[in-house]
């Protein structure tokens, strides 16, 4: 089964799902924009309307789509429009790209439940959009954190996020 999430920098989101049981593969890339086969530089310019996403293949017998939604909403801020931390622009917007009607309904109900429970102080701005063509990111983005742990962004931003995730979700 497929799932696609945009929740800021795809390096940050990729490492979370790489450490989730039931995930068969995680690919960083781009979705939702106007240009065919966009490059990282084009997407970062904000001119393509693409979002940095992670495209997942997962085993429903080990992890449910709702579990993935819980992880997604717990590991980024769904209340900031076009921003995650210091990353600003439409390419960092919060979005769930659904691959079927069931995913759309589950996502809408999940967001509604979070709003009703007042989990966040501010309104959730996460978009729910139909999945369109997924464009894989350049090879150097794949498994970025594990291949570049000495990178200052990795050690200052991604490592603490991963540590918090592992403490929260892994038993």
Q: Which residues are catalytic?
A: 9
Q: Which residues have a Cβ under 8 Å from the Cβ of 58 and sit 6 or more positions away? A: 1, 2, 3, 22, 23, 24, 65, 68
CB-hemisphere CA count at 13 Å for 65?
21
DSSP 79: T
- Cα 37 to Cα 55, 77, 82, 139, 162, distances in angstroms: 15, 28, 22, 14, 30
DSSP 119: -
Count of beta carbons in the 10 Å neighbourhood of residue 114 = 17
The CA dihedral of 116, 118, 120, 124, to the nearest 10 degrees, is: 20
Alpha carbon distance, N-terminus to C-terminus of the chain: 24
């Amino acid at each position: 089964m497929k799932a696609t999430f945009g929740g800021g920098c795809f390096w940050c989101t990729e490492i979370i799902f790489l450490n989730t049981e039931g995930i068969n593969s995680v690919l960083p890339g781009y979705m939702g924009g106007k240009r065919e086969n966009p490059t990282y530089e084009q997407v970062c310019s904000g001119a393509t309307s693409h979002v940095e996403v992670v495209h997942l293949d997962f085993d429903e017998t080990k992890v449910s789509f709702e579990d993935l939604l819980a992880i997604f909403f717990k590991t980024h801020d769904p209340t900031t429009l076009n921003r995650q931390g210091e990353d600003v622009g439409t390419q960092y917007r919060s979005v769930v790209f659904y691959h079927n009607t069931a995913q759309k309904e589950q996502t809408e109900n999940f967001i509604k439940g979070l709003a009703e429970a007042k989990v966040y102080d501010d309104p959730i701005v996460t978009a729910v959009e139909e999945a369109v063509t997924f464009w894989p990111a350049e090879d150097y983005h794949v498994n970025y954190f594990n291949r570049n742990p000495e990178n200052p962004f990795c050690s200052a931003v991604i490592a603490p996020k991963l540590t918090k995730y592992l403490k929260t979700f892994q038993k």
